Chains A and B, each alone.
Chain A
């Protein structure tokens, strides 16, 4: 009975109301303990050991009960005043930290920040839920890709951890600079529009422009556009999403993404980037190359848009070996 659960003490930024809260909690504790006393007195009851003293005892018991009851009464009054203190200082119930200020923004209709935040929270919650489900499911169905279980443990230790995504920016810069010297008809601009991850703006001869989004030295996204298409949106943002207006370059973008996956290797990440860029360089003659197989320029009104990943030879999409 006299045990006290600390209770969810509302975090408050205001030190004054903090003090009030503490006082109120103290009052609650006091009320509880005095009430506890009352019950304890009652439970013990009148001790009936000596009949002669019964009357006296009875008197004694009544006195102690009345005493503890009155102490309950005073404690209760104290609690009431501290509660009043609390409400008068206006501790606004549950505090949301600085997010509560969002509600006070008069232009809440225009900035949907609060709503967005709530949505984000919900989304995160859901992601969390799904991942925990997934983790349990995956644990139950362990994927075993190799049969030689004997070596698997040793091998796992020997394999270096893939660090392609986590390469210092300086190294990326040096590496791309080195590649730039090898690829003569290709100009590579390295920009970092958002944080430390690099985006390569590539201009290949007078044929095409490409955007390659890197994460460390892993290629994450490739977009190919015409030489005369704009890479920036009207408000000067690097536009890595809008596809080319021309069907040829939409096809080339598809092939480039396929090649990006083809060249990908988790451990030799610099080799992957290097071979991808060399492959991309073979597109400098996109419009002038004839198909290696049918020896024609046009097939269904398209030039040969596919390049062999090994020999860099030009083929129509449907003529691929």
Chain B
């Protein structure tokens, strides 16, 4: 388990998601990436309205036997796959889910020497919201040691300067990296994408925002990448 950085790729609008993703994949192949399958990270949110508690349940295809339960406080419980059946038991009496809140990040997975690169399109419900790139450097267990190294790779791929690590990761630069840290980073991005409405999700210049009120149906085709 090496260090993982999850980075949101700016793109100019929901329509451009697919082409940006394709470009990125081409770039990765150009630097020697071998495609080996697809990946998926999903997140289902459960509410307990009477107690006012929220629980996010995440799965990561990189850890297929684990389920991650993330609470509002940031506490993350790692459980095995039976956790899903447990949630089925507790739903709907104790927890409820809202339709169309399920977040999924799906896309191809590449191996480049010791790096693993993943390009994932994020869909919330049925609408495509954003593009995430996950970069894992497997030999190194501490983020601070290999941050510059990964930054160099990401910058050469994305063609834009990379800002500092996200708020969660920034606090844990010197710790030994764990898979929970990956989940927390995804959650950070999912929260940003959820709060924003479909078009503001795009962190790029306003040029693409003229079609601001695009409804969700219009975006569905994009998500079926």
Contact = CB atoms under 8 A, between A and B. Distances in A.
Contacts of B140: 207, 226-227, 287
Interface string A287-321: 11010000011101111000000000000000000
A116 B144 CA distance: 53
Contact of A247 (B114, B141, B156, B176): B114
Contacts of B152: 296-298
A130 to B, nearest CB: 42
Nearest to B156: A298
Q: Would you call the interface of chain B mostly helix, strand, loop, or mixed?
A: mixed
A300 B146 CA distance: 16
Nearest to A226: B139
B24 to A, nearest CB: 16
A257 B170 CA distance: 37
Contacts of A227: 140-141
Contacts of B112: 301
A287 B145 contact: yes
Contacts of B145: 206-207, 285-288
A206 B148 contact: no
A244 B138 CA distance: 12
B138 A246 contact: yes
Given A206-B142, A249-B139, A287 B113 contact: no
A287 B146 contact: yes
Nearest to B148: A297
Contact of B149 (A249, A287, A300): A287
Contacts of A301: 31-32, 112-115, 153
A298 B114 CA distance: 12
Interface size class of A (residues with CB under 8 A): 20 to 34
A263 B57 CA distance: 55
B1 interface: yes
Contacts of A287: 137, 139-140, 145-146, 149
Contacts of B149: 287-288, 297-298, 303
A259 interface: no
A206 B139 contact: no
A228 B1 contact: yes
Interface in B32-74: 32
Given A206-B176, A288-B148, A246 B114 contact: yes
B65 to A, nearest CB: 19
A245 B138 CA distance: 9
B153 A298 contact: yes
Contacts of A228: 1, 141, 176
Given A245-B138, A287-B139, A298-B156, 9 more contacts: A227-B141, A248-B113, A285-B145, A287-B146, A288-B149, A297-B149, A298-B149, A300-B32, A303-B149
17 contacts: A207-B140, A227-B141, A228-B1, A247-B113, A248-B114, A248-B139, A249-B139, A287-B139, A287-B140, A287-B145, A287-B146, A287-B149, A288-B144, A288-B145, A288-B148, A296-B152, A298-B153
